[in-house]
Each structure stands twice: as C-alpha cells, then as structure tokens.
C-alpha cells in the first residue's frame, strides 16, 4: 500500500522541486487498485490540479477541457476525479473554491445550477473566514457615506479592520457568530428547506439576461406580500450594532443585496441558512458573478467543474445550443474570478467545444495502464516518467528529478513506495543536496 504524502498538494516543499505534489504518494488511496494503477490515476489528478494552479495565476483564466482515451474504462476516471475534488475541498496552498456540477443539475436552470452549487460551497467552506477577509477590506478603506449612515466612526472601522487582520476567524465569530452549520437558537433545517423551497418555486428557472429581476426586495413565499428590505426579512438597523449595519450595507451596496440578506441569514441561522438564501434570486447571472467576486477576497479563483455528460446527446439540439450558450455566458461572468472545467471524457460535446476552442487541454490518457509489463515486474516501463511529467508544474520532468526516470526498470513491489519516500525526503530542503545521498545510490540500497 502506498503511503500518503508528507506535505499537502501545492505546498512550498513540492513547489521547490518543480512539482505540484508527490508523484508516488496519492492523497486519496484506493486499495482495490495495484500500486502502479494508483500512481497512474494519481498522476492524472495532479495533472488537472497543476493546470488549475497555473490558470489561477492568470488574470483571465482559460477553461480546462479534460478528455480521456476510449481505451480506458470509465471506472479509472472516477479515481482522479475523487482525488481532485478531495484536494480542492481542503487545501489552503491551492487557494481555490471549487463547485462540482453534474450535467443533470441543469434541470434547475442553466445558470442556476452553477449558482446553487457554488453557493453551497461558499457557505460551507469556513464562511466566517471568507467574511472576515471581506470585512477587513471594507473597513480598511471605509465608505464615508455608509460610515455616516451606520454611525460607525472611521477610527472604529480601522480598529476593527486590524482585529480582522490579526485574528480573522476569532473576530468573525465575535462579530457574526460562530461558524456553525445551523444555530441552536435559529431556524431548523426543515424550516430552512421548506421556506427556501417555497420561495424558489416562485422564481423563473432560466430568465433571459435582459429580463432578470431586481433583488432589492426579498423573494417571499407564494401568496405572501413582498417584504421591504428593512422589514420582517431582516432586523431593523436600530436593532444591530453600528459595525454590523455598516458591513451589511457595504455588501448590499458594493456586492449584492442577495449576499447581504444571506449574511443576515448566516447571523440568524448559520451556514445552511446562508446557502439557501444565496440561491433565492431573480437575477441568477448577477448573483453568480457577485458571490464569485466576494469569494475572491479569500480565494484566488472559484472553479466550476462540469461532469456526467453521458446524456448530452439525448437532449434536443436546440436545448444543447442553449446550454452551450449559457456556459459561454458563465465564462464571461467569471472572466477574472473563475475557471470552468469540463470533464468531457471521450465525448465530443460539439456545441460546447465550439464555444471553448481556446481551452487548456488536459488529456487523461493513463498511458501506463495500456503498457504490457514483464513477468518479473508489474511496473510499466514508462510509469515513472509519466508520473513525474504529469505532476510537474511545467509538464516536463524537473531537472533535479531526471535521474529517477532511469530507474523505472524491473523492481521489487516496494519500488514505488521507496520513490515516494525519496521525493518527500528531497522536498524537505530542495535548495540543498538531499541528506539521504544520491537518488541512484539510495534506491539501489
């Protein structure tokens, strides 16, 4: 069994080696597979993560198109996908907020499907820390009009900004409440889901861009009167401390009224209430763009991963064209804040492909799985080079690790494990000669 890596994916230790991660130590293990197959699948996950890392550094990221060979069973693509999503869900070094959108979610709306999944990820990924980053920015360079309206002095704003900077999570918990999924004193999950579902039923799934409604007033349940912004849906300004009035109004004015209502829901009910509130909008395009922009106060980019296109060609031609057009819209909405990823597999997806001709290609070939192995060893001859190239930040085997390529011949079952250990040893201090000696000498011991 292969060990887990000593350092996180995208950590500075691996970056100094020219790698996004350890090529021979998967972050997610699969005991069903032999070690060589695990390394090949892990390499494809690292290939995608390295591409995401590179695109996130660009002001305007290119979409990423992931294809696979039809010779590889679909089962094998699930493994690098699982590792990719696992790493993205909890990795501060990559600094990306990723939402996964299966194709069938399009039934919720071509734009709303992305909005709903991104809203959940934003709300459930230590939202208090994200809110702290925004609050620090809003207070460090305060809006004079909002300061006056809220009664918060400039000195108080700057002092609170310093506290958010020094201890973001703790200050956020003090100002907005502990970062809990559901608050004991707030509405329960059933109430949140029931009310949210009824309010969402009043919304058009796919409003046209020029027909998107305004969200200055909340969406209420069918048959109920509209509520004013300062009405029952939110506490009156006089009921809130000045710093909260300022921050909520800052979000409403500079980001989105939907997000402002979401923050009130977070204060009252927790992260789950926030996630539901963010989905309830008459303007899904505006809200998607707004929450992506809000997320980048903490994360480098948001990532939307589209997958499970098996039923693509079952959809009518005109629907496929409308979906492709909506995806192109999303690309424009997130032009500087997001990255779109399409797990196309071995499908052409012609209508989408035509809209994304400039995409970055990430082929999941898993080529070593197609190689024949010798009776003496089950390690494909090209596996080491394949894993190093896929895990490299540049797509080429780093010079410092070039000697490892020559060692991919017939080896005993522990060979890949020793390679993983050697890479981790070298990552401890990549600027100095590795303490364990020459790689060839170490591996031959």
Q: Out of 265, 298, 331, pick the residue that ends a domain.
A: 298
The C-alpha atoms of residue 76 and residue 276 are separated, in whole angstroms, by 34
pLDDT at 234 over 80: no
What's the pLDDT band for 406 if we cut at 50, 70, 90? low
pLDDT computed for residue 220 by the predictor: 55
Highest mean pLDDT among 204-208, 251-255, 406-410: 251-255
Same domain (yes/no): 240, 386: no
> For residues 253 and 156, what is the distance between their CA atoms, to the nearest angstrom?
20
Q: What value does the mean pLDDT of the chain take? A: 89
Give me the pLDDT at residue 374, please.
72
Which pLDDT score, from 0 to 100, does residue 410 have?
54
| Ordered DSSP codes for 145-166 | HHHHHHT--HHHHHHHHHHHHH
Q: Is residue 3 one of the residues assigned to a domain?
A: no
Q: Which two tokens stand for residue 291?
A: 């929450």
Q: Where among 298, 320, 335 does a domain terminate? A: 298
Residue 121 in domain? no
CB-based contact 411:431 (threshold 8 Å): no
Q: Summarize the confidence of residues 121-126 as an average pLDDT.
A: 98
Categorize the per-residue pLDDT at 254 as very low, low, confident or very high, splitting at 50, 70 and 90.
very high
Q: Let me know if residue 6 belongs to a domain.
A: no
pLDDT band at 441 (very low <50, low <70, confident <90, very high): very low
Closest by CA to 341, choosing from 58, 116, 130, 114, is 114
Residue 439 domain boundaries: 12-116+302-444
Quote the CA–CA distance of 282 and 206 in Å, as a whole number: 10
Residues of the chain above pLDDT 90, percent: 72
- For residues 391 and 441, which has the higher predicted lDDT (pLDDT)? 391
Q: Given pLDDT bands bounded at 50, 70 and 90, which one contains residue 204?
A: confident
| CB-based contact 407:379 (threshold 8 Å) | no
Q: How far is CA 137 from CA 61, 140, 342, 438, in A?
A: 24, 5, 33, 49
Is 18 in contact with 364 (CB distance < 8 Å)?
Answer: no
For residues 122-147, average pLDDT? 98
- The pLDDT-based confidence of 155 (bands split at 50, 70, 90) is very high
Contact 377, 410 (CB under 8 A): yes
Q: Check whether residue 190 and residue 136 sit in a common domain.
A: yes
Q: What b/e sequence results for 399-423 when a residue is b if at least 16 CB atoms lie within 10 Å of its CB, and e otherwise?
A: eebeebeebbeebeeebbbbbbbbb
Q: Which residues contact 122 (CB under 8 A, 6 or more apart)?
A: 97, 130, 275, 278, 291, 294, 295
Q: Are 166 and 183 contained in the same domain?
A: yes
Least confident of 98-107, 295-304, 320-329, 413-422: 413-422
The answer on 375 and 275 residing in a single domain is no
- Give me the mean pLDDT over the 112-126 stretch: 97
Token look-up 């130590």 returns 25
pLDDT exceeds 80 at position 222: no
Number of domains in the chain: 2
**Which of 11-15, 119-123, 201-205, 357-361 is predicted with the least confidence, judged by mean pLDDT?**
201-205
* Same domain (yes/no): 173, 92: no
DSSP at 7: S
pLDDT score, position 411:
72
**Residue after which a domain boundary falls, among 266, 298, 330:** 298
Q: Is residue 1 part of a domain?
A: no
């Amino acid at each position: 069994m292969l060990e887990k890596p000593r350092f996180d994916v995208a950590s500075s230790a691996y970056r100094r080696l020219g790698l996004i991660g350890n090529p021979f130590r998967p972050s997610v293990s699969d005991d069903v597979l032999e070690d060589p197959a695990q390394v090949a699948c892990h390499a494809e996950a690292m290939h995608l993560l390295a591409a995401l890392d590179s695109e996130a550094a660009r002001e305007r990221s290119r979409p990423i198109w992931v294809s696979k060979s039809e010779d590889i069973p679909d089962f094998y693509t699930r493994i690098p996908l699982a590792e990719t999503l696992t790493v993205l869900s909890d990795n501060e070094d990559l600094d990306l907020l990723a939402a996964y959108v299966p194709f069938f979610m399009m039934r919720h709306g071509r734009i709303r499907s992305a909005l709903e999944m991104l809203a959940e990820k934003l709300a459930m990924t230590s939202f208090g820390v994200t809110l702290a980053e925004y609050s620090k920015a809003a207070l460090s360079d305060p809006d004079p009009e909002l300061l006056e309206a809220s009664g918060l002095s400039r000195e108080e704003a700057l002092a609170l900004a310093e506290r958010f900077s020094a201890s973001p999570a703790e200050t956020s918990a003090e100002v907005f409440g502990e970062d809990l999924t559901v608050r004991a004193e707030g509405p329960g999950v059933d109430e949140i889901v029931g009310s949210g579902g009824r309010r969402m039923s009043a919304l058009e799934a796919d409003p046209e861009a020029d027909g998107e409604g305004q969200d200055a007033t909340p969406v209420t349940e069918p048959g109920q009167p509209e509520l004013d912004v300062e009405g029952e849906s939110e506490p009156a300004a006089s009921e809130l401390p000045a710093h909260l009035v300022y921050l909520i109004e800052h979000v409403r004015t500079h980001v989105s009224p939907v997000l402002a209502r979401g923050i009130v829901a977070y204060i009252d009910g927790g992260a789950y209430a926030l996630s539901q509130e963010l989905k309830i909008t008459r303007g899904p395009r505006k809200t998607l763009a707004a929450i992506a922009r809000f997320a980048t106060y903490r994360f480098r980019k948001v990532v939307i991963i589209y997958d499970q296109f098996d039923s693509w060609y079952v959809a009518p031609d005109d629907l496929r064209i409308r979906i492709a057009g909506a995806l192109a819209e999303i690309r424009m909405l997130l032009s500087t804040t997001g990255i779109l990823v399409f797990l196309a597999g071995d499908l052409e997806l012609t209508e989408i492909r035509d809209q994304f001709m400039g995409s970055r290609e990430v082929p999941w070939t898993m080529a070593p799985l197609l190689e024949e192995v010798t009776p003496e060893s089950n390690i494909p001859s090209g596996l080491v080079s394949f894993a190093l190239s896929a895990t490299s930040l540049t797509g080429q085997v780093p010079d410092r690790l070039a000697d490892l390529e020559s060692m991919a011949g017939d080896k005993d079952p522990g060979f890949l494990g020793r390679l993983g250990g050697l890479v981790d040893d070298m990552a401890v201090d990549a600027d100095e000669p590795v303490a364990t000696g020459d790689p060839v000498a170490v591996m031959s011991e």
